[in-house]
A and B are shown apart, each in its own frame.
Chain A
Amino acid sequence: MSLAAPLRRRILTPTTLVLATLVAIAAFFIAQRFMYGLGAVTNINPGYPWGIWVVVDIVIGTAFGCGGFALALIVYILNKGEYHPMVRPALLGGLFGYTLAGIAVIVDLGRYWQFYNLLLPWYAQPNSVMFEVALCVMVYVIVLWIEFSPAFMERFGFKKLKATLQRYMWLFIALGVLLPTMHQSSLGSVLLVMGTKLSHLWFTPWLPVLFVTSALAMGYAVVMFEAIVVSKTFRLDSEQPLITRLSRFVGLLMAGWLALRWIDLVVAGNAGLAFAFDLKATMFWIENLLLVFAVVVLLTPQLRADERMSFVAATALLLGGALYRLDSYLVGLQPVGNWSYFPSVSEIMVSIGIIAFEILLYLVFVKTLPVLPARHGAPYGAEDVPAQPAE
Chain B
Amino acid sequence: MEPIHSPKIDFDKVLGETPDAPISGHCAISRRTLLQFCAGIAASMGLSAAAGVRMAEAAMAPQRPPVIWLHGQECTGCTESLLRAYHPTLEQLLLEVISLDYHDTLCAGAGQQALDHKHKMMAEHKGKYVLVTEGGTPMKDNGIYCKVGGQTQAELIREAAEGAAAIIAIGSCASWGGVQSASPNPTGAVGTREVIPDKTVVTIPGCPPNPYNFLSTVIYLLTFGRPPELDAENRPKFAYGRLIHENCERRPHFDAGRFALEFGDEGHRQGFCLYKIGCKGPETYANCPAIGFGDVGHGAWPVGTGHPCFGCTEKGVGFTKPIHSLAALKTASPPTAYPEPTTAQGDGISAGAAAVVGAAAGVLVGAGAMLLKQMGDDKDSSAKEG
Contact = CB atoms under 8 A, between A and B. Distances in A.
Interface of A: 43, 45-48, 228-229, 231-238, 307-308, 311-312, 315, 337-345, 348-349, 352, 376-377
Contacts, number: 76
Nearest to A48: B346
Nearest to B353: A345
B357 interface: yes
Contact of A47 (B345, B352, B372, B375): B345
A45 B341 contact: no
Given A43-B347, A47-B345, A232-B374, A345 B356 contact: yes
- Across the A-B interface, give the 3 residue pairs with the lowest CB-CB distance, nearest first: A342-B349, A345-B352, A235-B386
B360 interface: yes
Contacts of B348: 340, 342
Contacts of A349: 356
Interface residues of B, number: 26
Given A45-B346, A47-B345, A340-B346, 5 more contacts: A235-B384, A340-B345, A348-B353, A348-B360, A376-B385
A352 B386 contact: no
Interface in B355-386: 356-357, 360, 368, 371-372, 374-376, 378, 383-386
23 contacts: A43-B346, A46-B345, A47-B346, A48-B346, A228-B375, A231-B383, A235-B386, A237-B383, A307-B375, A311-B371, A337-B341, A338-B341, A338-B342, A338-B343, A338-B345, A339-B345, A340-B346, A341-B346, A343-B353, A345-B352, A345-B356, A348-B357, A352-B356
B1 interface: no
Interface in B329-345: 341-345
Contact of A344 (B345, B353, B372, B383): B353
Given A235-B383, A349-B356, A229 B371 contact: yes
A235 B385 contact: yes
Of the listed residues A45, A48, A338, A352, the one surrounded by the most CB atoms of chain B closer than 10 A to its CB is A338
Contact of B375 (A308, A338, A343): A308
A302 B296 CA distance: 99
Of the listed residues B346, B360, B386, the one surrounded by the most CB atoms of chain A closer than 10 A to its CB is B346
A344 B353 CA distance: 6
Contacts of B376: 308
B350 interface: yes
Contacts of A308: 372, 375-376
Contacts of A312: 372
Nearest to B379: A307
A337 B378 CA distance: 55
A345 B371 contact: no
A238 B381 CA distance: 13
A236 B374 CA distance: 13
Nearest to A351: B360
B375 A232 contact: yes
Contacts of A238: 378, 383
A317 to B, nearest CB: 14
Contacts of B375: 228, 232, 307-308, 311
Nearest to A342: B349
A230 to B, nearest CB: 11
B298 to A, nearest CB: 43
A231 B385 CA distance: 10
Contacts of A231: 383
Contact of A311 (B353, B372, B384, B386): B372
Contact of B347 (A232, A236, A344): A344
Contacts of A47: 345-346
A340 B353 CA distance: 14
A60 to B, nearest CB: 14
Contacts of A229: 371
B348 to A, nearest CB: 6
A385 B360 CA distance: 42
Contacts of B372: 308, 311-312
A42 to B, nearest CB: 10
A282 to B, nearest CB: 15
Given A339-B345, A340-B348, A345-B350, A234 B356 contact: no
A363 to B, nearest CB: 14
A232 B347 CA distance: 41
Contact of B344 (A46, A237, A338): A338
Interface string B271-293: 00000000000000000000000
A374 to B, nearest CB: 14
B358 to A, nearest CB: 11
Contacts of B357: 348
A330 to B, nearest CB: 12
A206 to B, nearest CB: 30
A235 B356 CA distance: 31
Nearest to B349: A342
Contacts of A340: 344-348
B360 to A, nearest CB: 6
B345 A337 contact: yes
A344 B371 contact: no
Contacts of B374: 232
B339 to A, nearest CB: 9
Nearest to A355: B360
A337 B342 CA distance: 6
Contacts of B345: 45-47, 337-340
A307 B378 CA distance: 10
A228 to B, nearest CB: 7
B196 to A, nearest CB: 57
Of the listed residues B341, B371, B384, B385, the one surrounded by the most CB atoms of chain A closer than 10 A to its CB is B371
B373 to A, nearest CB: 9
